[in-house]
Chains A and B, each alone.
Chain A
Amino acid sequence: MKRMALMVSMMVVGIAIMLWAGWHNLADRRRAMQQAAANHVTLTPDGQAPKDGDATAPGGDGGAKLVGKTAPAFTLKTLEGKKVSLADYKGRPVLVNFWATWCAPCKLEMPWLEAFRKQYQAQGFEILAINEDPEVGKDKIASTAQKTGVSFPILLSDDKVSPAYGGVDYLPMSFYVDRGGVVREETAGLASKDEVEADIKKIVGTRTAMQGEPPALSAR
């Protein structure tokens, strides 16, 4: 009987030690995590903090917002000081492209855009390239655009157009606006040349497709 009681006591003590060790380790881990968290600073875009510790969560904009909606209107000045409005291109397919002089991928895709502009010019296709760093000065913007070989209008951003397009915080960013003024596609970042052309075809072909005619598009 005494032996049984001794064994039970030893088991109880053993379990207690295991529980204490587990709790102690957990407490240590928590302390280490708290210390690491206190010493760690992560730099993120303002207003886009991941929610509930999930750094992979989408930003506050919650995904593509403008696709299927009317493209926000804007009136901006060109490098030459001429006022240009999106409304000026009513009835024409327009690619609204945001870029900056410090954005290497933007400059990479600009020659492609120029080529596509020429290719689909007969269908009324136009590109409006909105520069997002006008503070560098018109001369630098103009020389950068010239180096890329583009001839489409370069517009200088203001404090309204970027927020209207959802806060352009990632460049290049493109909005493909069809003849009816509706955003058909929206891309952030450098897409492949084929993808850019596929998106252009979506807006260039809108009117003819609605009329039941095959879109008059050039081959790739």
Chain B
Amino acid sequence: MTAWLLAGLLSGAGPAGQQMGELQGGLSRAERTHATVSYVPEPTIVPAGRRSVVEIHLRVEPGYHVNSHVPRSELLIPTTFALDAEETGAKAGAVEYPAGKSYRFASDAAEAGSAGEMLDVYTGAVVLRVSVTAEAGEHVLRGVLRYQACDQRACYPPQKLALLVPFTAR
């Protein structure tokens, strides 16, 4: 149950996740799929010397969700992006998180008389916004993304991932 990170996979995770979401009942090990969250760097240009925003584009694969930054229980693991030491010539400020959506593990649980707890989650495209002020040039925001993913039936352990977010100030 250690950190997950694999760069360079381009295809397949979406349909796999979708397939998992449609499965009924407990899953065998062979039925489990793997990719849950993708980070897609995009060319980002900000005005040099002025306070601006760098966006971090994450994608939660179809069939999965992660807790939002403010889940509804202290036991749930929130999504966070903790910035590392500052890049020379660039100063990063607060991270702004999007609002989550309500979600409940309902399915047949409701029929069985168990409502399950209401969650606050991210699905699909998730954009974190980091306030930056940078000198002209190429920069990289370094930080650690922490999240905990589930699909419609089960959950993966919380993960910490080092992210590099490149941007240019002109």
Q: How many residues of B contact A (CB 8 A)?
A: 59
List residues of chain A with CB within 8 A of the CB of B95. Answer: none
Whether the pair A105, B155 counts as a contact (CB closer than 8 A) is yes
A58 to B157, CA, bound (A): 18
A145 to chain B, nearest CB (A): 12
* Pick from B12, B24, B39, B75: contact of A41, CB under 8 Å: B39
A186 to B26, CA, bound (A): 9
A53 to B109, CA, bound (A): 35
Whether the pair B8, A40 counts as a contact (CB closer than 8 A) is yes
Whether the pair A169, B114 counts as a contact (CB closer than 8 A) is no
* Pick from A44, A63, A111, A193: contact of B4, CB under 8 Å: A44
A153 to chain B, nearest CB (A): 20
In B1-40, the 8 Å CB interface with A consists of 1-13, 15-16, 19, 24-40
List residues of chain B with CB within 8 A of the CB of A49. Answer: 6, 9, 34
Whether the pair A108, B105 counts as a contact (CB closer than 8 A) is yes
Interface presence of A200 (CB below 8 A): no
Q: Which residue of B lies closest to A162 (CB)?
A: B1
Whether the pair B105, A169 counts as a contact (CB closer than 8 A) is no
A110 to chain B, nearest CB (A): 9
Interface presence of A54 (CB below 8 A): yes
* Pick from A37, A56, A62, A132: contact of B8, CB under 8 Å: A37
Whether the pair B32, A136 counts as a contact (CB closer than 8 A) is no
List residues of chain B with CB within 8 A of the CB of A33. Answer: 10
Interface presence of B86 (CB below 8 A): no
Whether the pair B40, A39 counts as a contact (CB closer than 8 A) is yes
Whether the pair A64, B28 counts as a contact (CB closer than 8 A) is yes
A148 to chain B, nearest CB (A): 10
A166 to B29, CA, bound (A): 9
A43 to B147, CA, bound (A): 11
List residues of chain B with CB within 8 A of the CB of A108. Answer: 105, 109, 114, 116-117
Partner-binding segment picked from A19-27, A84-92, A96-104, A207-215:
A96-104
Interface presence of A144 (CB below 8 A): yes
Query: What are 10 A-to-B residue pairs whose CB atoms are below 8 Å?
Result: A55-B11, A58-B32, A102-B155, A103-B150, A112-B114, A132-B157, A170-B154, A190-B26, A190-B107, A190-B154
* Inter-chain pairs besides A44-B35, A45-B156, A55-B13, 9 sampled, C-beta below 8 Å: A40-B38, A41-B38, A41-B40, A58-B32, A107-B116, A108-B116, A168-B1, A169-B1, A188-B28
